[in-house]
Structure 1
Amino acid sequence: MIGMAKACPGGGSLLNYIINERKGYELFRSNLCGNTSQELLEEFRISQELNQRTTNKVLSLVLSPSIEDTEKLNDQDLKGLTIEFLKELNINTENHQFLAFIHNEKQKHKHIHIYCSRIDLTGKALSDHFIGKKAQWAAHKIATKRGLISAKQIMVNKINSADDKELKTTKKEIFEKHQKAISMQLDSLDSYFDVMKSMGIIVQPSINKQGQIQGHRFLNVATNENFKTSEINRKINLKNFGEIQKIGEQTSKTKATKFRRND
């Protein structure tokens, strides 16, 4: 679900767009009884003229559930969502003039346009400070509460998914460099460190409280990411360099066997 809001001067063009019956139908209204856009604008002006200081006296709001959610939401549900949305924006539904109109011209994707006076019936102007951000968070909060799809959550999930994919790629690259180093049958752990460093990976020892090496970590110089050896591959054990030599010999033998078979 997406929530949008902006303060604007309002006027006939915006109101005509919202109440266009070719686009949809009226959901509900508050403190209004006019039928035409002209009649409605005159009613809005009655309260708006109580406040001469405010310039943008109208809030143009949109509440748009996902297509999947609108298929299971009826008009009563949509009205409830709208009321919650307005309350989250500190709009008193009893003391403000507004009209909520459903647009459904886009393939069953119902979304709600709301033409709302910023000036309440006492002449007080509603703050429009960060109103756009507030609308986004209001929609997210309502969607989370009601078990609906939140656009903000979809964005977060996409970011996390991209991060996970990038992390897996980085770990894979480090492991491939490790395999390349041990296949060289190096004669010392220092030689292994040097080879890994030449490929952009610094191998750091992990020291315990007793001052003993209890493991190692890989630092990717390019990204400054730091991993335990077990996070790259559980079979990696650098404490005993013989392990590396043994793995290197096995890797070399495997490659040689494959070469002979292909030959």
Structure 2
Amino acid sequence: MIGKGHSIASTGASIDYGWNQEKDAEVVLKEYLAGETPKEITEEFKIIQSQNERCTQNTLSFILSPTVKDGQEMGKAQLKEITSRFLKEMELKNRQAIAFVHRDKAHTHVHVYVNRIGFDGKAYNDSFIGKRSQIAADNVAKELGLTRVREVQQEKLQELKWQRLAIRHINNKVIETRPKSLDEYIGKMKDSNVKVIPSINKSNQLQGFRFEYKGASLKGSEVHRSMSGSKLIGEITQNAKFTRMKEVPNSLKLMDKTVQLSSNMAAKIAKDLLKQVIKRGLETGMGMGF
């Protein structure tokens, strides 16, 4: 089961979407609410939200997606159970909440809306809510014996085993040519029919890469751990003659643009670079001075 979550400001429109009868919507959970229409539910949310006018994104929106097979076998009672357990995992019990199941597609999923403002007027801390939603959904799946995300991912990786091996082989051949820039690396991979797609977030930070080959689309770490963003960038920066940790760049040129490296990625590159420096020192019998 997969869980996704974020804070929203459009409470009414979101609840209206959840209640959409064209998607065979059905209420599977309702907490501390009396209303029978999206408008009535929204008004009840607003009464509590009026206690905290500083918080504008005052509703929490979640999507819980069991696997296709698990979802097809679930009735209303089971969907209520996974939603209730999920809210408990997220420490969101004793709040206004409503959840709808959508069965308009093969993939059954539940839309959950929770008032971010508690009855005490305090706003729920939504830091890292996306990641926390994933973990909570995985915990619920484990408790109830449902298929977990990592199991689905492992099945996917096994199905794409030959593509992964081919991409890694091509990557190794390209790395052996010692490309000195990301553009050079991406160009050489393209020449071997592998499309490399940089993953750049809204803060213009490079997160890693996706690789497309023969119908497969995989993150670098899914191909092999040596192809994570930090590993690849570390290889290329060393080719560009960066030999000391203080030389690890905070930004790189990519397709005529400058992209930033997150502090986490820069730290990983520095760590790998330090390992290489130590290894070279040991191989040449040089002492390491600190």
Q: TM-score band, normalised by the shorter chain?
A: 0.5 to 0.7
Letter in 2 for 1:32: L
What's the RMSD between the two structures over aligned residues?
2.3
Supply the distance in 1 between the matched residues of 2:74 and 2:90 (Cα, whole angstroms). Answer: 22
In structure 2, the partner of 1:239 is none
Cα distance in 2 for partners of 1:69, 1:29 equals 23
- Structure 1 residue 156, shift from structure 2 partner: 4.3
Q: Residue 7 of structure 2 aligns to which amino acid in structure 1?
A: A
Q: Where do 1:31-70 residues align within 5 Å?
A: 31-70=32-71
Alignment partner, residue 85 of structure 1: 86
1: distance between equivalents of 2:127 and 2:34? 30
Deviations 1:95-141 (A, max 9, x none): 2111111111113x321101111011111211100001111111112
AA in 2 matched with 1:136: Q
Secondary structure of the 2:21 match is: coil
Aligned to 1:97: 96
C-alpha distance 156-138 of structure 1, shift in aligned 2 (>3 A): farther
Higher-Rg structure is 1
What are the residue-to-residue correspondences of 1:1-263 with 2, within 5 Å? Answer: 1-23=1-23, 24-92=25-93, 95-107=94-106, 109-159=107-157, 166=165
Q: Judging changes above 3 Å, is the alpha-carbon distance between structure 1 residues 22 and 163 closer, same or farther for their aligned structure 2 residues?
A: closer
> Which residue identity is paired with 1:30?
E
C-alpha distance in 1 between matches for 2:131 and 2:33:
28
CA deviations over 1:10-56 (Å, ceiling 9, x no partner): 23221111111221211120111112222111110111111122121
- The TM-score with structure 2 as length reference comes to 0.53
- The count of residues paired between Structure 1 and Structure 2 equals 167
Secondary structure of the structure 2 residue equivalent to 1:34 = coil
Amino acid at match of 1:4: K
Q: Which structure 1 residue ranges, 4+ long, deviate > 3 Å from structure 2? A: 156-167
The answer (yes or no) to whether the contact 1:140–1:153 under 8 Å persists in 2 is no
Unpaired runs of 5+ residues, structure 2, are: 170-225, 227-290
Q: Gaps spanning 5+ residues in structure 1: where? A: 171-222, 224-263
Within 2, Cα distance between the matches of 1:28 and 1:145?
A: 19
Shift in Å at residue 162 of structure 1?
A: 6.1
Distance 2:161 2:71 in 1: 31
Q: Distance in 2 between matches of 1:85 and 1:144?
A: 12
**RCO greater where, 1 or 2, for CA within 8 Å and sep 6 or more?**
1
Instruction: Give 1:159 shift.
Output: 4.4
Residues 172-227 of structure 1: per-residue CA shift (max 9 Å, x gap): xxxxxxxxxxxxxxxxxxxxxxxxxxxxxxxxxxxxxxxxxxxxxxxxxxx8xxxx
Cα distance in 2, alignment partners of residues 78 and 4 from structure 1:
16
What TM-score does the superposition give when structure 1 sets the normalisation length? 0.58
Structure 2 CA distance, aligned partners of 1:25 and 1:163?
40
Identity within the alignment, % = 35
User: Take 1:138 and 1:40, find their aligned partners in 2: how far apart are those partners?
Assistant: 26
CA distance in 1 between partners of 2:102 and 2:122 (Å): 30
Indicate if the aligned counterparts of 2:29 and 2:83 stay in contact, CA closer than 8 A. no
